[in-house]
Structure 1
Amino acid sequence: ADDVLATVSSMAEEAGMETYLASGDRDTFQLVTDSTFVIYPGRSMSDLRLMDPQAVTDRYGVVPAQYPEIAALVGESADNLPGVPGVGDKTAAQWLKKFGGLDQLIKNADKVGGKRGEALREHLEDVRRNRRLNALLRDVDLAVELSDLERKPFDRNGVEELFDSLEFATLRSRVFAVDVADQDEAPTPSASEAVQVETSTYPQVGIEAWAQPVEEGDLLAVLPALAGSDIEVFVLYTPGRALVVDPVDLDEAAANELQALFSKARVITHEAKKWRHLFGQRGIDFGAIWFEAELAAYLLRPDQRGYELPALARRYLDRTVAAEESDWQLSLLTDHSQKVILAQALYDLEQPMRAELNKQDAWELFQQMELPVQNVLWKMEHVGIGADMDTLRAMSDELDSMVGRAADAAYEVIGHEVNLSSPKQLQTVLFDELDMPKTKKTKTGYTTNAEALEKLFMQTEHPFLAHLLEHRDKIKLRQTVDGLIGSVRSDGRIHTTFEQTKAATGRLSSTQPNLQNIPARTEEGLRIREAFVPADGFDALLTADYSQIEMRIMAHMSEDAALIEAFNSGEDLHKTMAAMVFHVPVDEVDSNLRSRIKATSYGLAYGLSSYGLSQQLGISVAEAGELRDKYFERFGGVQDFLAGLVENARKVGYTTTLFGRRRYLPDLTSTNRQRREMAERAALNAPIQGSAADIIKVAMIHLDSALAKSGLSSRVLLQVHDELVLEIKHSEKDEIKKLVKHAMSNAVALDVPLDVSMGIGDNWRSAGH
């Protein structure tokens, strides 16, 4: 790289150009001339120094061309090139000045006295080698001219796709910010268009008056801007016209006028669920949204990490509306013209993104699944779920005591106290004091993460590790409980946020707090679930979930006759499958054989390799491979189906669910084995997990509609992957159970029945089944 810099700077100097080299390598100092400069960072990027000829001379006592001679004597630790011991920059410069250069110094090395002279004579070969390696080549054949290096317009979409795949969010913003700066002389398309927009403000222009030209079914962009946790302003936009509204100024009449406008127009927005909540606090409902840009972008590119409006405008409109994406919401607050530009971009996004959704056969999925379920999720978030604070506080205190007891027990084993949260101190205890087998080596020593410690415990069964793992587990549970306590609002309920655009498979996730990761298989986790209770006016919680839904989807999609037979037998699925695989009667299938087949079935559905299966079952990779082979001997249709998933995805570039949801996997053709194998596992997993996610979304939409029509007061509170949690009245119990079962079991027609299990109790735990 340094030789390339040297060659380009020489080409530039010959062309009469002034050149600046940004480099942290001091070897580039030899390139400094009256027209070539080095921008050197020093100890940090905030300590930038411009190295011109005088700066090099002041620092090293020689002219820039002699810097390689200084470096040859002193050495370069960064390049692992040792110099003459005891010789620094000052001594080296004195020698070079006295003898007239390095060549003369070497010839007269015997004339240099003292210990340093002796060291010089002992290291002459090092000096010669350093001089040879430090000298930069200035005539590398680059096969380019300077004109070829001029920055030209680039393929913005191509750069977007590359940066998305590499997750270069910050670099992307910086690159496009520079591109915007380069185009300052010519206004961007958005800026020139926005000048022509007739912009009004409320209340100078009333809602009803501004909305008068808007006819039934016209498109209307609504773009709010946040200040803290509330709407500071919002913009209404139709072609050529915009109205900027401060919601503080809305009286009841104006709110009604706004509601009427939303009901009449086809609303286009971005992050609609957030705005539903905030407008809802003022008694205003968006109604049926026509187009939601974030959801549309998610369906088109589900593996992308974010869907901010400026990035969408760049991708689908080739329009720059904000230089720094991280600041785009802030810019809405400080600049009315920027508000209008963004609202205009939001409006303009509808046509190209709708066309792209149609092209990918995703418009129906967008209109009939994602938009309706977003409205259901908004209702669920608004309602929240009741929390028993006394139970949570008691649980927190109990877990705190358990953390202390586990720590004391660990200290007793080793005979002294230690910080159980300190990797460095744990490394000393585990590998020095207790002489345990070493874990994976990292930059800071041997790893002490949870996975490594669990494997180490399986190897050694050492009591210190048992107490340490117990300590970590109880801390994690206590943090969960304390997080729940902090999330209880003044209404005594926890209002989680359901994210639609985070999981590439289509699964919903829960945040602030995450109610989908409350443990269900440990006693402490079940105790936490006891704290989730019905609110006043309701009598119980009802839980309903799909039984073995991934396996049912696999049976349907693979059309494997044996797997379908196992489902239709009415017996325990995994015991029946184990009997088929191991050729034994069902009543002779023990828990070990059943668990092996269950792990294999779900492992295949989630793209688990033989290695992953071996880790899960605690068996060798060879045994896991043999188990897979036996499984596929009996369920050959499953093997063909899974192989076909990967090959078809490799051919077309994506996988699809039963409802047509696509997940694009470009790494299926990658030359990087690790990336390719990861994509292959995703190709196995996405159609099955994605179909399961789609099915429960359809069930939620149907159930919401059925509840609205029934007039019942019972309501849906949570979705936890394959499970729904409702708040019910005992008087409505029988009717609610019928509605839930019908909505869930009829969400889709499969070759095997969708089995729905239900339970009712006075808290989430007791409602389990």
Structure 2
Amino acid sequence: MSDQPPRDGSNAQRLLLLDGHSLAYRAFFALPVENFSTTTGQVTNAVFGFTSMLINVLRDEDPTHIGVAFDLARKSFRTEQYAEYKANRSETPSDFKGQVSLIQEVLDALKIPYITLENYEADDILATLTTQAEAEGMQVLVCSGDRDTFQLVTDNVTVLYPRKGVSDLGRMTPAAVTEKYGIAPGQYPDLAAIVGESSDNLPGVPGVGPGFASKWIQQYGSLDGVVQHADQIKGKKGEALREHLADVIRNRQINGLIRDLSLPIGIPELVRRNWDRDAVHRLFDSLEFTVLRNRLYEYLEAAEPEAESGFELDMRRPGPGELAGWLREHASGSEPIGVALAGSWSRGTGEVTAIALSTLSGATGGHAAWIDPASLDLDDEQVLAGWLADPTRPKVLHDVKGPILALAARGLTLDGVVSDTALAAYLIRPDQRSYDLADLVLRQLKRELRTEEPDTGQLSFDDAESDNAAEALMLRAAATVDLNEALSGELTASNGTELLADVELPLIGVLARMEQAGIAADTDYLAELQAQFAAGVKEAAESAYGVLGREFNLGSPKQLQAILFDELQLPKTKRIKTGYTTDADALQGLYAQTEHPLLMHLLRHRDVARLKSTVDGLIKTVSDDGRIHTTYNQMIAATGRLSSNDPNLQNIPIRTDEGRLIRRAFVVGKGFETLLTADYSQIEMRIMAHLSEDEKLIEAFNSGFDFHAATAATVFGVEPEAVSLEQRAKIKAMNYGLAYGLSAYGLSQQLRISTEEARGLMDGYFERFGGVRDYLQSLVTQARRDGYTATVLGRRRYLPDLISDNRQRREMAERMALNAPIQGSAADVIKLAMLGVDEALRTSGLKSRLLLQVHDELVFEVADGEREAVEELARREMGSAYQLSVPLDVSIGVGCDWNEAGH
């Protein structure tokens, strides 16, 4: 890319320089903190805003060279000259701290150099590089929110100045500076010296703005001329100038930028390089920058991988009667065949429009075939069906569950799947946000999957007229089987080979059958709920209006801030960019503090609106068969937990009476007797007891008493029967909180007690459960040494930030290290239970079926007369899914609907 000319077609080299701190700070205040943070809690608004601006300016300006300058500290040679320089600036916001280092990580991934220099500011670095570049005949663009850079503007130097946030950049050319200030750019420091700069704590002449300062400079030629003629300037402004002449002279000594620094790198090192795809993927995954990554791919070029040598693919479309011969020649051995499908799939069904098969490409070339199932004659259809269903013919697919559903809808069975490259990549990199085939192929095989006409020099096609869609699908099939080969070593190194073969792959079939079955929905009842919650929303709004005596927008944070904090003078909540937060947690805390009726109605309005939104979504997803078919995903949660979407049935409320009303809409279907739920009791704490080997915790489980009461009795030194409800609630929060890496502050917020009391509770807990304390401490130590945590089945979660220099990222990684083994082990156990349950149901001849998995609960639809058998089966298979040092306790419930069965 560095050899490409600028977009204007000239041969001039173009240097883009950015003021890192200035732009990061603007981005921080331009984007709301509450809208930009990762699932682990890392605030990213400044990083997002800076990176978004950077992508745009690279796209628009297409520089040949680029560099970013950062301040090292607030102290510089200027503070030595004037101790009050920038002394008025407030303390750096806590949410901003740590984001500059993340921005520098983004720059590293994008191969963009950044520069700092002790005792000097970023502007001085920019000025020095600008001077050097201009001397070499380069065009220079300086992107900065600091007006001091206007002094650098010449015919060859343009300042890109953010007018709003960091997205709207104005171009400050010599003409633009003169038009705005009436002076030449080189005279800008003179004008700033007279006017002053409040952000730098440089007071100017009182009552004198840019207009008068410009007039004086134009009249007397320069600041020196103004100083020499100060006695001749009449009126109050002249008097003010004379009184503050020392300030003006000092300002001019300070605001001039240094242009001859000795920098660690020079212009040649700023040549623009193509960015590192792997580094960008890893970083953008951790920052959860999916949108920015897509924009980066769309607008800018990454380092082009060297084409994989020896890649040839003989692509054919077998005619009538030729499919059996192709399969016999290329797909009848023990080597896996890549399979790719074209079509669509969702909500338990799908449609196949084409199938592609491919051998490994290898050094001698591969062979691929494209099949249109709709155009096959009966013999070829039987041949294809037999091969797909043959468990002895190994097959590799990418994200196979959808294709299984689509093939099943056509009456075809897929068996013999030995690998799913999406799942393999997930087990290798569980924190990655996307497992797109094209992206993985580019990273692993250095091969680009194209939808357009492929390079005919590498690919031979049998027909005279090529079909781009057919070729693209065959290339996907070839890429899938080649990718599987490339991932196998990493999968073994990540301890994922057995997990894939024994857990994740078999689970695909279980999930597919669950999605096909769906769960029956009472649509009439859902409609009643919808009307009920709609009435509740209206009632809560009218009650809120009644308190205030007028209508207002309950969904407007700006109006709520004005009402709550200005009009009603309620205590302020957490300060945010737009004022004070009005999120649900803040309002709940405010209500507990004040019991103001308006807050009660606001919270009620939000609760009922959320319930109505849930019901609205469920009604939309009821299929023609009267059932709701969710989609399960094995590759969302880094801990291994399953997720559910379209709709998300793992998010159906259960904690409130009104929330449980929604569960009543999920009912037993026709031809079945009842729903049955089987739920693991306190599985996280049982895994904690097993992993920590804490004798008292194990004893609490084996005591026969209520677990939380038993542990509370140990902590408070009383008999279990004497434990109060308050004591039990506190220890229950502690028990579960420890499995999620809960801190003393987090516990205090949850129990609404002081941090000191929460810390005392934790200290008392750890005094009595020393094994838990030692285990949790060892987790972080071991993870820091190994670089990862592991579950009971060896599922790894890599945590490179455990050794990060960024304190926030390091602390978040430590919390993940506490959380991942327990949460991940719980995920392992429920998956093993599902495999056991599914196998037992299918081999027992029972007609009952597994419908849902929600957290630690399985939901069954029980056929007539099979209730006792299914209950015994669920207890047996779930209770024996994994051998812990404490028993896996399973709670069973039955009922005509999910809510009733869950009790």
Q: TM-score, normalised by structure 2?
A: 0.76
Q: Name the CA shift for 1:588/1:88 in 2 (closer, same or farther; >3 Å).
A: closer
Q: Which amino acid aligns with 1:241?
A: H
- The 1-side partners of 2:138 and 2:202 are apart by 33
- Residues 1:199 and 2:327 aligned together: no
Kindly report which structure 2 residues correspond to 1:93-108, keeping only aligned pairs within 5 A, or say none.
95-108=216-229
What secondary structure, in the 3-state scheme, does the structure 1 residue paired with 2:865 have?
helix
- The 1-side partners of 2:283 and 2:435 are apart by 16
Larger mean CA deviation between 245-254 and 750-759 belongs to 245-254
Q: Name the CA shift for 1:99/1:203 in 2 (closer, same or farther; >3 Å).
A: farther
Residue 260 of structure 1 aligns with which residue? Answer: 386
Residue 126 of structure 2 aligns with which residue? Answer: 5
Residue 573 of structure 2 aligns with which residue? Answer: 439
The one-character-per-residue Cα deviations of 1:203-224 (angstroms, maximum 9, x if unpaired) are 6996445434222332222234
What secondary structure, in the 3-state scheme, does the structure 2 residue paired with 1:724 have?
strand
Residue 327 of structure 1 aligns with which residue? Answer: none
- RMSD, matched Cα: 3.4
- The 2-side partners of 1:542 and 1:288 are apart by 32
Kindly report which structure 2 residues correspond to 1:560-639, keeping only aligned pairs within 5 A, or say none.
560-639=694-773
- The 1-side partners of 2:343 and 2:199 are apart by 48
- The 1-side partners of 2:253 and 2:593 are apart by 53
Residue 291 of structure 1 aligns with which residue? Answer: 419
- The 2-side partners of 1:484 and 1:404 are apart by 21
Shift of 1:376: 0.9
- The 2-side partners of 1:433 and 1:124 are apart by 46
- The 1-side partners of 2:498 and 2:369 are apart by 32
- The 2-side partners of 1:477 and 1:46 are apart by 37
- The 1-side partners of 2:297 and 2:321 are apart by 37
Q: Name the CA shift for 1:222/1:38 in 2 (closer, same or farther; >3 Å).
A: farther
The one of 339, 347, 352 aligned to 1:222: 339
Q: Name the CA shift for 1:61/1:416 in 2 (closer, same or farther; >3 Å).
A: closer
Kindly report which structure 2 residues correspond to 1:233-632, keeping only aligned pairs within 5 A, or say none.
235-238=356-359, 239=361, 240-245=366-371, 249=375, 254-263=380-389, 265-321=393-449, 339=473, 341-632=475-766
Q: Name the CA shift for 1:5/1:234 in 2 (closer, same or farther; >3 Å).
A: farther
- The 1-side partners of 2:369 and 2:235 are apart by 85
Larger mean CA deviation between 675-684 and 347-356 belongs to 675-684
- Residues 1:189 and 2:307 aligned together: yes
Q: Which amino acid aligns with 1:189?
A: A
Q: Name the CA shift for 1:575/1:42 in 2 (closer, same or farther; >3 Å).
A: closer
Shift of 1:560: 2.0
Tell whether the 8 Å contact from 2:306 to 2:446 is kept in structure 1 after alignment: no
- The 1-side partners of 2:707 and 2:345 are apart by 52
Tell whether the 8 Å contact from 2:495 to 2:796 is kept in structure 1 after alignment: no
Larger mean CA deviation between 99-108 and 660-669 belongs to 99-108
The one of 656, 676, 681 aligned to 2:790: 656
The one of 839, 842, 852 aligned to 1:718: 852
The one-character-per-residue Cα deviations of 1:220-268 (angstroms, maximum 9, x if unpaired) are 2223456797666554322223334556655665544433343454222
- Residues 1:145 and 2:279 aligned together: no
Q: Name the CA shift for 1:176/1:400 in 2 (closer, same or farther; >3 Å).
A: closer
- The 1-side partners of 2:584 and 2:171 are apart by 48
Tell whether the 8 Å contact from 1:203 to 1:249 is kept in structure 2 after alignment: no
Shift of 1:121: 5.6
Tell whether the 8 Å contact from 2:677 to 2:857 is kept in structure 1 after alignment: yes
Residue 799 of structure 2 aligns with which residue? Answer: 665
What secondary structure, in the 3-state scheme, does the structure 2 residue paired with 1:731 have?
coil
Shift of 1:269: 2.0
What secondary structure, in the 3-state scheme, does the structure 2 residue paired with 1:222 have?
strand
Tell whether the 8 Å contact from 1:646 to 1:684 is kept in structure 2 after alignment: yes
- The 2-side partners of 1:95 and 1:254 are apart by 92
Q: Which amino acid aligns with 2:840?
A: A
The one of 865, 888, 899 aligned to 1:731: 865
Residue 703 of structure 1 aligns with which residue? Answer: 837
Tell whether the 8 Å contact from 2:451 to 2:469 is kept in structure 1 after alignment: no
What secondary structure, in the 3-state scheme, does the structure 2 residue paired with 1:370 have?
helix
Tell whether the 8 Å contact from 1:542 to 1:728 is kept in structure 2 after alignment: yes
The one-character-per-residue Cα deviations of 1:465-495 (angstroms, maximum 9, x if unpaired) are 2222122111111111111111111111111
- The 2-side partners of 1:82 and 1:127 are apart by 8
The one-character-per-residue Cα deviations of 1:395-422 (angstroms, maximum 9, x if unpaired) are 1111222222222333333333332222
The one-character-per-residue Cα deviations of 1:561-602 (angstroms, maximum 9, x if unpaired) are 222222222232222333333332332223223222222211
Tell whether the 8 Å contact from 1:663 to 1:686 is kept in structure 2 after alignment: yes
- The 2-side partners of 1:763 and 1:391 are apart by 12
Q: Which amino acid aligns with 1:481?
A: V
Shift of 1:133: 4.6
Q: Name the CA shift for 1:506/1:91 in 2 (closer, same or farther; >3 Å).
A: same
- The 1-side partners of 2:510 and 2:686 are apart by 26
Instruction: Number of aligned residue pairs: give it.
Output: 756
What secondary structure, in the 3-state scheme, does the structure 2 residue paired with 1:544 have?
strand
Shift of 1:361: 1.6
Tell whether the 8 Å contact from 1:203 to 1:245 is kept in structure 2 after alignment: no
Higher helix share: 1
What secondary structure, in the 3-state scheme, does the structure 1 residue paired with 2:900 have?
coil
Residue 808 of structure 2 aligns with which residue? Answer: 674
- The 2-side partners of 1:304 and 1:460 are apart by 44
Larger mean CA deviation between 262-271 and 388-397 belongs to 262-271
Q: Mind listing any 5+ residue stretches in structure 2 that lack a counterpart?
A: 1-121, 453-466
Larger mean CA deviation between 127-136 and 598-607 belongs to 127-136
Q: Which amino acid aligns with 1:498?
A: Y
- The 2-side partners of 1:665 and 1:66 are apart by 53
Q: Which amino acid aligns with 2:368?
A: A
- The 2-side partners of 1:609 and 1:224 are apart by 48
Q: Which amino acid aligns with 1:645?
A: L
Tell whether the 8 Å contact from 1:563 to 1:577 is kept in structure 2 after alignment: yes
Shift of 1:197: 2.2
- The 1-side partners of 2:340 and 2:266 are apart by 48
Q: Mind listing any 5+ residue stretches in structure 1 that lack a counterpart?
A: 325-332
- The 2-side partners of 1:125 and 1:69 are apart by 14
Q: Name the CA shift for 1:594/1:97 in 2 (closer, same or farther; >3 Å).
A: closer
- The 1-side partners of 2:649 and 2:380 are apart by 38
Larger mean CA deviation between 662-671 and 710-719 belongs to 662-671
Q: Name the CA shift for 1:34/1:585 in 2 (closer, same or farther; >3 Å).
A: closer
Q: TM-score, normalised by structure 1?
A: 0.89
Residue 328 of structure 1 aligns with which residue? Answer: none
Shift of 1:115: 7.5
The one-character-per-residue Cα deviations of 1:334-369 (angstroms, maximum 9, x if unpaired) are 776655555443322212311111112211011111
- The 1-side partners of 2:739 and 2:344 are apart by 44
The one-character-per-residue Cα deviations of 1:529-585 (angstroms, maximum 9, x if unpaired) are 111112211121111111121122122222222222222222322223333333323
Larger mean CA deviation between 473-482 and 727-736 belongs to 727-736
Residue 329 of structure 1 aligns with which residue? Answer: none
Tell whether the 8 Å contact from 1:180 to 1:323 is kept in structure 2 after alignment: no
What secondary structure, in the 3-state scheme, does the structure 1 residue paired with 2:898 have?
coil
